[in-house]
Amino acid sequence: MGANHTAASLFDESVARDYEQWYEQGFGSFAARQEEALLHRQLQGFSGATSLLDVGCGTGHFTRWFAK
**Residue extents of the structural domains in the chain:** 11-67
CB of 52 closer than 8 Å to CB of 66: yes
Specify the pTM: 0.61
Confidence bin at 4 (pLDDT 50/70/90): low
Q: In terms of pLDDT, which residue wins out, 57 or 44? A: 44
Tens of pLDDT, residues 48-68: 888 888 887 678 888 888 888
Query: Residue 25: which residues within 8 A CB-CB, separation 6 or more?
Result: none
User: Residue 23 CB: number of other CB atoms within 10 A?
Assistant: 20
